[in-house]
Structure 1
Amino acid sequence: MLRLVSSGDEAALAIRDHLVPLARERGELEVQRDAVRLVVLRHGALTIEHWTPFNDLSADEASSPGYRHALAQQHSQPDLPYGLDVWHAGKRVLRLLWADNGALDLAEFVRGAWEAEALAL
């Protein structure tokens, strides 16, 4: 299991817990080619991107659960199916990935004034 280890863990999780419901309520659905649903919320200088693994299959994707399981087995670490990217003025300032089982990966967290802006939404 991946664990958060930086001193910004609590702040990053608080931002996630605040922004994910807002993105789900107010964001626009943008479906990528991969097997994810992407919701994007834009507000001023902030862009919030939240993705989940739950989307309809495109015509070129295999629907077989066995095929999807085989693809998952090819990865050396378990996939973290949920994610949040926060961009401020065109620069990514937060990337947080997680799974239902509690696994977390704080891939990027640039501290700054954007945090207060995000929490004020």
Structure 2
Amino acid sequence: MTLTLVSSGDDRARAIRDHLLPLVRRDGSQEVQRDAVRLISLRIGPWSIVHWTPFNELASGEASSPGYRHALERQQAAPSLPYGMEVSRDGTKLLGILWADDGSWDIVSFQRGPWEKDALSL
């Protein structure tokens, strides 16, 4: 039996991600394509939320380069956590979280504080 240690902030960090993800997907602006990820950002007052997804279907007007995409895929040594989100307020990074479709996830950074309640009220 494998035990997994969970920090007390893990559930809260995931709740913030789950709350902000629909907002950034609905109201965010797509940024320039970068390598194998697509960036979507949302700015609300002092808040900055950046979400990235693996390279997916091209938007209208984007150039297609299948050879380039396949080359990027072959460069991956091991499966990674392809989705991510960073949340900042007034330029201070408060949350960095990565996840995959299979349910695996990793909290890269999480600064606890009163901002959590504010983020959940956006």
TM-score clears 0.5: yes
Tell me, in whole angstroms, the C-alpha distance in 2 between the residues paired with 1:93 and 1:32: 24
1:88 is matched with which residue?
Answer: 89
Structure 1 unpaired stretches of 5+: none
Q: 1:64 to 1:120 in 2, by over 3 A?
A: closer
Tell me, in whole angstroms, the C-alpha distance in 2 between the residues paired with 1:79 and 1:45: 31
- Give the drift of 1:101: 1.0
- Give the drift of 1:58: 5.3
1:26 is matched with which residue?
Answer: 27
Q: Is the 8 A contact 1:4 1:104 kept in 2?
A: no
- Give the drift of 1:86: 0.1
Matches within 5 A, 1:2-17: 5-17=6-18
- Give the drift of 1:33: 2.3
2:48 is matched with which residue?
Answer: 47
> Root-mean-square deviation (CA), in Å?
2.2
Q: Is the 8 A contact 1:15 1:115 kept in 2?
A: yes
- Give the drift of 1:63: 4.2
Structure 2 unpaired stretches of 5+: none
Matches within 5 A, 1:53-68: 53-55=54-56, 56=58, 62-63=67-68, 65=70, 67-68=71-72
Q: RCO higher in 1 or 2 (8 Å CA, sep ≥ 6)? A: 1
- Give the drift of 1:41: 0.7
How many corresponding residue pairs? 115
Provide the TM-score with structure 2 as the length reference.
0.82
Give 2:67's aligned amino acid. Answer: A
Provide the TM-score with structure 1 as the length reference.
0.82
- Give the drift of 1:4: 7.2
Deviations 1:42-76 (A, max 9, x none): 111110001101343756773464x344212x24x
